[in-house]
């Protein structure tokens, strides 16, 4: 008899169990949020070094030989990159950014370790950001919400995956104004595949949702750019709304956009009064899109339209 058979199958997908799973996934998401942008930056510098060393590309682009010093710069840049050591989601082990103390397993238990350490590194007593346990708790609440909304059944795990991706994208976009393709595109394709397998929406509705989601923000982007000469949002926002459309259908696009605007207005006002608005930097739209998506997933399209229409 397997462990899975010792309890009713519905128990394994209950709010309590998925909430506990959310704590563990949230701990991993903290790693994703911290490392993925740095992994992307390293790859961009590697691309720069390769481009600097590509004399044929320079010749095609500028119609003249590349400056000789560019090859030396590319070699030096590669040397710096090679000397950094591996950086993936699993390597190196987590360490304190202040003193380099290697975090032991019992110092990495979601929420409990932060409370036990009183929010400080055990070695140097440097403060550990409150955002770490908050992100773990948020993920736990969303996972439990998935079980509550969709029922204690395997399909709830699908939506847990959606919530995990949205949490990671929210934190990364807020920190860096980036929505990585390595998260938005798998989220989009997963929505289409889930529909194709009959787990969520009719496939045609999912495809239409992805197309309407992308084209909605793409159109707004170009209208704004033609009118002002400025870029009001990034292409990652188009892909994120397309991904939400693939999961929720084209009917959900308007409620998501409206709800994200409401959330953005509330957050913007709060930041203005608390002095948290960042001078000279864009306020990313991705976190508000993700928030609007979560509300529509849990509340439903018609209910959100009813709230906004009141």
Cβ-contact 156, 24 below 8 angstroms: no
- One digit per residue, the tens of pLDDT, for the chain of length 310 reads 555 565 666 778 899 999 999 999 999 999 999 999 999 999 999 999 999 999 999 999 999 998 889 999 999 999 999 999 899 999 998 888 888 889 988 889 999 999 999 999 998 999 999 999 999 999 999 999 999 999 989 999 999 999 999 999 999 999 999 999 999 999 999 999 999 999 999 999 999 999 999 999 999 999 999 999 888 888 999 999 999 999 999 999 999 999 999 999 898 888 878 776 665 567 899 999 999 999 999 998 888 777 766 6
Closest C-alpha to 113, from 90, 132, 92? 132
228 CB-contact burial (10 Å; exposed 0-12 / middle 13-18 / buried 19+): exposed
Which among 299, 291, 199, 309 has a CA at the least distance from the CA of 241? 291
DSSP string, 52-105: HT-HHHHHHHHSSPPPHHHHHHHHHHHHHHHTT---SSSSS--B-TTT-PBPPG
Strand (E) or helix (H) holding 228:
helix 203-228
Rounded Cα–Cα distance for residues 264 and 24 (Å):
29
**CB-based contacts of 109: which residues, under 8 Å, 6+ apart?**
none
């Amino acid at each position: 008899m397997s462990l899975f058979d010792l309890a009713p199958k519905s128990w394994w997908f209950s709010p309590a169990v998925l909430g506990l799973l959310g704590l563990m996934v949230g701990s991993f998401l903290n790693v994703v949020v911290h490392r993925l942008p740095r992994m992307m930056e390293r790859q961009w510098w590697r691309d720069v070094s390769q481009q600097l060393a590509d004399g044929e590309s320079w010749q095609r682009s500028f119609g003249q030989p590349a400056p000789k010093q560019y090859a030396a710069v590319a070699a030096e840049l590669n040397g710096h990159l090679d000397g950094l050591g591996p950086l993936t989601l699993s390597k190196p082990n987590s360490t304190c950014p202040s003193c380099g103390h290697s975090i032991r397993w019992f110092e990495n238990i979601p929420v409990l370790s932060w409370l036990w350490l009183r929010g400080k590194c055990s070695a140097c007593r440097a403060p550990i950001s409150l955002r770490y346990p908050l992100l773990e708790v948020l993920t736990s609440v969303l996972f439990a919400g998935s079980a509550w909304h969709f029922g204690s059944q395997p399909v709830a795990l699908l939506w847990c995956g959606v919530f995990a991706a949205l949490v990671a994208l929210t934190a990364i976009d807020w920190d860096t104004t980036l929505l990585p393709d390595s998260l938005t595109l798998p989220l989009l394709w997963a929505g289409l595949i889930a529909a194709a397998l009959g787990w969520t929406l009719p496939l045609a509705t999912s495809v239409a949702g992805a197309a309407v989601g992308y084209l909605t923000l793409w159109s707004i982007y170009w209208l704004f750019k033609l009118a002002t000469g400025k870029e009001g949002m990034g292409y990652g926002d188009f892909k994120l709304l397309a991904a939400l459309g693939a999961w929720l259908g084209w009917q959900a696009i308007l409620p998501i956009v409206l709800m994200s605007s409401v959330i953005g207005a509330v957050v913007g006002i709060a930041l203005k009064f608390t002095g948290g608005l960042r001078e000279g930097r864009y306020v990313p739209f991705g976190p508000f899109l993700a928030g609007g998506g979560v509300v529509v997933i849990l509340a439903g399209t018609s209910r959100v339209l009813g709230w906004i229409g009141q």
